[in-house]
Structure 1
Amino acid sequence: MMSALSLLRSRLFISAFMVALFSSSLSSVRAEDAQPLKVAIVGLEHSHVYGFLDQLGKHTDVQLVGIADGDATLWEKFGKRYSLPDTLFYKSEANMIERTRPQAVLVYTSISEHRHAIEIAAQYGVSVMVEKPLTISLEDAFAIRRIAREHKIHVLVNYETTWYPSNKAAYDEVRENRIGEIRRVVVHDGHQGPKEIGVPPEFLKWLTDPEQNGAGSLYDFGCYGVDLMTWLMRGETPQTVTAVVNHDKPQIYPKVDDDSTIILQYPHAQAVIMGSWNWPFARKDMEVYGATGYAITVAADQIRIRHEHDLEEHIATAPPLPAQERDSLSYLSAVLRGEIVPKGDLTALDTNLIVMQILDAARESAKTGRSVKLTKLGD
C-alpha cells in the first residue's frame, strides 16, 4: 500500500501538473487574444477608405492582410500614398479571402455593390463592415439580413457620427430622462458638395449616379440623421415619412438631388433631417428637444444643455467614449471578440434595416410628393 507521505507527494505532483496545464492554456488564450485582428479591404472607390488607412497606423491590434479592387490604377495610387506592397492587392474579393483568410472585410465600394460584397464574404464565414448607408434599397437590406443569419456573420454599418462623444452625451440625456420624453429632433449633415470639396474622381463618379448611390444628398447625408433618430427612439418605426429634395445645382449634379429634407412622424415626436450638398461649410450636428429640456451637439465633442429649472443653457465637453467604442476598428474588434453584442446601436444590422426602410420611403415620398405610411418590419 502507498504510504501517507507517498500519497501526499503524488497529490502535490498532480496539483502542480494541473496548475501548470491551466497556466499554459491561459497563456495560449492570452497569446491568441493578443494576435492582431486580420482585416481586408474590398473596394477603393469610396473616399472614406483614406480615413481607415490613416487610422490603421494607430491600431497595432489590427493587421491589413489584403485589398481587393479590379482597378490597377487605384492599386498604384494607394500603394504609393501608403507605401503598400504589391502583394497586398488582389483583383477579386473571393481570391483575396481564400489567400489571406481575414476575420473581417471592410467595404469601400459604391453603395449598390454592398450586397454583392457581403454575399461573397458570407460564403467564407467572414464578417463585414460597410460604409453608410447599409445598401441601396430595403429589398437588398432584407437579403443582407437573410445572408447574415444563414452564414452566422456580423454585418455592421460605419457612420462617422457613431464615434462622436457629443451624440452619446445627447443620447444619455434622453436615456436618463434628464430632458424628458423626446418631442422634436433636428439633424443637419453635409457640406458644400462633393465636387466643390474636391472628392476623388472615382468617388464622385458613383456618388452622383442614383443607380449606384440610391440618391444624392438624400442618401449620402440623410442617412446620418435617420440612423441617429432610430437609435434615439430605440428602434421605433415612424408612422409616416415625408421628404422633399431640391436640384439647386443641376449643372453640377444633373442626375441626383443636392439638397434634402426628411420628416419623420411618431405618435408624440417628430424629426426633421436635413442632408445637403449645399451647406456653406461642413457640418454634422443634432438638436434633441425633450418635454423638459434640450441637448444640442456642437461638433464631435461639445454639447449645449438646458434642463427644466436652468435659467440658461450651459456648454459642456462630452465624456470620452469607452475604449471599445472610440472608433470603427475598436468597435469591430470588440464585436468579433464577443465583448459587444451589436443590437439596437448605431452600427447594428437591426437598426440599419429600419434606416433602409425609412430611406426607401423618403425616396418614394420625394418622387411622388406624398407622405409614406410605415409599419413595423417583421423578423
Structure 2
Amino acid sequence: MHRLRYMLLFLLLAGPWSEARPQLPERPLRVVVAGVSHGHSSWIYGAKKTGAIEVVGIFEPNRQLAAEFKQRNNLPASLFYTDLEHALDTLKPEGVLAFNATSEHLSVVRACAPRGVHVMVEKPLATTEKDARQIAGLAKRYGIQVLTNYETSWYPTTRKTYQLVHDTGFVGQVRKVIFHTGHSGARRQEHIRFFFDWLTHPVKNGGGASFDFGCYGANIMTYLMQGAAPFAVTAVNRQFKPDIYPRVDDESTVILSYQQAQCIIQASWNWPFNRKDMEVYGVAGSIRAHDHTRLSVRSMQDKAERHLLVTKEDTPVYDNPFEFFAAVVRGLVKPDSYSPYTLENNVLVVKILAAARKSARSGKTVSLKY
C-alpha cells in the first residue's frame, strides 16, 4: 500500500506539461539594448552565449557609463548611440532589451511601440500604476509584446509549483503563500555606482527593497492565483540602514488579502544571505520551493516532507530570458495568460506595489478598486 501511494505521488508530481518544450528561432532576433545602468546588464555579454539574439546597437545617454561598458566588454564604439529614436530608425531592430531605471521604462515603450518594436524590461514593469497602464495601452494600440523579466521566471520550481497547484491539485485550495526574497543589501561600489544611485532613489526605483524584491512575490502570487487580484494590501516598511539607504526602505513586509487566501511577501536588503524562496500551503498539502531546483512537498497523509530535484528536462522552462523573448516575438511560443512575463500579470504587480507603498506611508490597509 505504501509503495502504491508513493508511485501515485510520483506520477502526480511529474504532472502534465502545459507548455511545449522551449524552441529557438532559426535566425537570431536583432535587438537594441536600451540603457546599461541596471546591474543585470552584465547578462547581455556575461551570460551563457545564445544564438537567440544579435545585439545590433546599445543606447546609453550617459557617456561615461557607455565608455565603461564598452571597455569592460571590449565592444566597438560604433555600437553605441545617445539617442534611442535615432538608433531605432537607423538599425530597425525587432526588439529592445531595457536595462535602464524602472521609471524610464515608459519612455522606452513610447519610442518602440509606434515603430512596431517589441520590448522586454527588467522587473518590475514600472514605478507607478499610471505608467504601467500607459505601457499596456501602447502595447495594445500598436500590437507589440512588452515582457517583464524576473529571474524566478526561469526557475523550474516556479513552473512545477504552478503545476502542483493547478494541474494536479496537490495542495487543494490555496490558503497561504509566503515569499522570502532579497539579499544582504547593495553597496555603492565603483562598478555599479550608476545602478546603485537609481536603485536607491524613491522615484526612479519606486522604493527600496519593497520594489526591488517585493515584485517577485507579487508576480508569482498573481501567477498562482491565475490573475485574481487581492482586495486589500497592508504593508510595513522599515529603514534599518539609513546611512546606506537614506531615501528608501531596506525592509518590507506586505500582506495581500484574497477572498480565500493570504499572501505574505517579505522583501529585504537585510538577509544574511541571498534568497528567493516560497512556501505554498493548501487545505490538502504544502509546497516549499527552496531555490530554482529544490522542492519539498507534503500531503496530509505524509508524516514528513518529500524532497525533489526539479530540472528543466522534466519541467520545461526557458532558462534564458533572451531566448524566451526571441521565441515570443517570432511566434514560437505564446505566454500563458497571467504567467510571470506577461503585461496582464505585471500591470497588476505594479498596482499591488503602489498600494503597498501607500499603505506603508499611511500606516493603513489599502483597499484595491478595479
Q: What TM-score does the superposition give when structure 2 sets the normalisation length? A: 0.90
Residue 216 (structure 1) aligned with residue 208 (structure 2):
yes
> Which letter maps to 2:284?
T
Specify which of 351, 356, 366 is matched with residue 357 of structure 1.
Answer: 351
Q: 3-state DSSP class of the match of 2:203?
A: helix
The answer to which of 281-290 and 319-328 deviates more is 319-328
State the alpha-carbon separation in 1 of the partners of residues 116 and 86 from structure 2.
14
For residue 167 of structure 1, what is the aligned residue in structure 2?
A: 158
The answer to which of 165-174 and 194-203 deviates more is 194-203
> Which letter maps to 2:195?
F
State the alpha-carbon separation in 1 of the partners of residues 348 and 317 from structure 2.
25
> Could you tell me whether the CA contact under 8 Å between 1:169 and 1:319 is conserved in 2?
no
Q: Which has the higher helix share?
A: 1
Q: 3-state DSSP class of the match of 1:294?
A: strand
State the alpha-carbon separation in 1 of the partners of residues 242 and 98 from structure 2.
30
Q: 3-state DSSP class of the match of 1:179?
A: coil
1:118 Cα offset (Å): 0.8
Residue 306 (structure 1) aligned with residue 284 (structure 2):
no
Specify which of 324, 327, 330 is matched with residue 331 of structure 1.
Answer: 324
> Which letter maps to 2:235?
A
* Per-residue CA distance 1:201-243 (angstroms, 9 max, x = gap): 0001011110111011110100000001010000001011000
State the alpha-carbon separation in 1 of the partners of residues 171 and 134 from structure 2.
38
Q: 3-state DSSP class of the match of 2:159?
A: helix
Specify which of 257, 269, 274 is matched with residue 265 of structure 1.
Answer: 257
> Could you tell me whether the CA contact under 8 Å between 1:323 and 1:330 is conserved in 2?
no
The answer to which of 316-325 and 188-197 deviates more is 316-325
> Which letter maps to 2:155?
Y
**Structure 1 stretches of 5 or more lacking a match?**
1-32
State the alpha-carbon separation in 1 of the partners of residues 61 and 89 from structure 2.
17
For residue 66 of structure 1, what is the aligned residue in structure 2?
A: 57
The answer to which of 192-201 and 353-362 deviates more is 192-201
Specify which of 361, 366, 373 is matched with residue 367 of structure 2.
Answer: 373
Computed over aligned residues only, the root mean square deviation of the Cα atoms, in angstroms, reads 1.5
For residue 275 of structure 1, what is the aligned residue in structure 2?
A: 267
| Residue 358 to residue 313, structure 1, CA distance change in 2 (3 Å) | same
For residue 20 of structure 1, what is the aligned residue in structure 2?
A: none
For residue 132 of structure 2, what is the aligned residue in structure 1?
A: 141
Q: 3-state DSSP class of the match of 1:212?
A: coil
State the alpha-carbon separation in 2 of the partners of residues 283 and 332 from structure 1.
25
1:244 Cα offset (Å): 0.4
1:268 Cα offset (Å): 1.2
> Could you tell me whether the CA contact under 8 Å between 1:190 and 1:221 is conserved in 2?
yes
Count of aligned positions: 343
1:172 Cα offset (Å): 1.3
* Per-residue CA distance 1:335-368 (angstroms, 9 max, x = gap): 1111222331100001111111111110100010
> Which letter maps to 1:327?
N
For residue 281 of structure 2, what is the aligned residue in structure 1?
A: 289
For residue 4 of structure 1, what is the aligned residue in structure 2?
A: none
State the alpha-carbon separation in 1 of the partners of residues 53 and 144 from structure 2.
19
Residue 156 (structure 1) aligned with residue 150 (structure 2):
no
State the alpha-carbon separation in 1 of the partners of residues 236 and 102 from structure 2.
22
> Could you tell me whether the CA contact under 8 Å between 1:237 and 1:375 is conserved in 2?
no
Identity, % of aligned positions: 39
Higher relative contact order (CA 8 A, sep 6+): 2
> Could you tell me whether the CA contact under 8 Å between 1:324 and 1:331 is conserved in 2?
no
1:61 Cα offset (Å): 2.9
Q: What TM-score does the superposition give when structure 1 sets the normalisation length? A: 0.88
> Which letter maps to 1:186?
I
Q: 3-state DSSP class of the match of 2:332?
A: coil
